[in-house]
Amino acid sequence: NLPPGPPIYALPLFGHLLHLGKHPQETLMKWCQQSKSDIIHCYFGQQLVIVLNNYSLIKEAFMDDNYSARAQPFIFEEHF
């Protein structure tokens, strides 16, 4: 049940990171326009990321406690 993703495939270890270029915010916005959706998924490395490209969606997500947590880096999970 993932939202649509970018039009290119994710690389096994890098995900979509190598495709973002010098201006990742512009690339993510272009991917949203190509998929005709304000919500897309992509992979930063092996981490799944959901991208919200609409102010009302971002505001709604931050108001909900289920979506307000940040992911912990791998090193913190291993050592603490």
pLDDT tens for the chain, 80 residues: list them.
889 999 889 999 999 999 999 999 999 999 999 999 999 999 999 889 999 999 999 898 888 877 766 666 666 666 66
| 60, part of any domain | yes
**CA separation (Å) from 35 to 5, 7, 38, 67, 68?**
7, 8, 8, 23, 25
Q: Are 34 and 7 in contact (CB under 8 A)?
A: yes
| 80, part of any domain | no
Please state, in angstroms and rounded to a whole number, the distance separating the CA atoms of residues 50 and 43: 9
Tally of domains in the chain: 1
Q: Model-level pTM?
A: 0.75
Please state, in angstroms and rounded to a whole number, the distance separating the CA atoms of residues 69 and 74: 15
Point out which residues pair with 42 in neighbouring strands. 49
Give the residue from 80, 55, 59, 78 showing the smallest Cα distance to 68.
59
| 72, part of any domain | no
